[in-house]
Amino acid sequence: MSDTPFARTLAALDALHAQDPRRVQVEGESVPRELWHAGRMSAWLERLEAAPDELVRLAVRGQHLQRWQVPRSDYPEGRVGYLTWRRDQGQRAGETTAGLMREAGYGEQEAEAVARMIRKQGPGREPGTQAVEDCACLVFLENYFADFAKQIDHDHLIRIVQKTWQKMSPQAHSLALELPMSDEARGLVEEALAG
């Protein structure tokens, strides 16, 4: 396993993730934020799918690749700025991951399939793309939603939860409802889903 194209690509992705200068505390240890995020993405995939194929596993692992290099603050405020930033991030992460895959011995077709998943092309139609979207939404709800909720006005937050929910598969909905949440966060989610 240690010298397969999959293992080489995974190691190369994690080496890039580990360069993130931002840190998070995980069980008392300081860890590169992006490496931690990639691990959470992979952990959710293992809960979503009994036996995810290796291309989906690589797409999920590479989805946030080198995001710190192009901060959100480099783009205009508002929805259009956010969507442009997110599209550009997906393009960069997809291209970089595909390049690592080719270097590791994957063919062009496999590398491009993963790049499409990372760019989130075809959610709902393409199972791999849907898996990337589901994992991203679950990581957001699990780790970022509570802090996010403190920064945004109530009505805007309700719309964000509703849009996030629309992107997710029924299986991801079930997992999301099992997440531990504060009473306040759960109330917001319930309000959004009732609306």
Residues 125-158 pLDDT 10s: 889 999 999 999 999 999 888 887 888 888 888 9
What's the rounded Cα separation, in Å, for the pair 121 and 113? 10
Kindly state the average pLDDT of the residues 49-62: 96
Q: Which of the four pLDDT bands, split at 50, 70 and 90, describes residue 182?
A: confident
What's the rounded Cα separation, in Å, for the pair 9 and 170? 30
**Measuring CA to CA, which residue among 112, 141, 123 is closest to residue 41?**
141
Cβ pair 93, 67 in contact under 8 A:
yes
What is the identity of the amino acid at 5? P
Say yes or no to pLDDT of 15 above 80: yes
% of the chain with per-residue pLDDT over 70: 99
Average pLDDT over all residues of the chain = 93
What's the rounded Cα separation, in Å, for the pair 187 and 55? 37
Say yes or no to pLDDT of 162 above 80: yes
Helix (H) or strand (E) run with residue 97 in it? helix 79-104
Helix (H) or strand (E) run with residue 16 in it? helix 5-17
**Measuring CA to CA, which residue among 44, 24, 38 is closest to residue 67?**
38
Say yes or no to pLDDT of 32 above 90: yes
Tell me what pLDDT residue 35 has.
97
Tell me what pLDDT residue 193 has.
87
Q: What is the pTM of this model?
A: 0.92
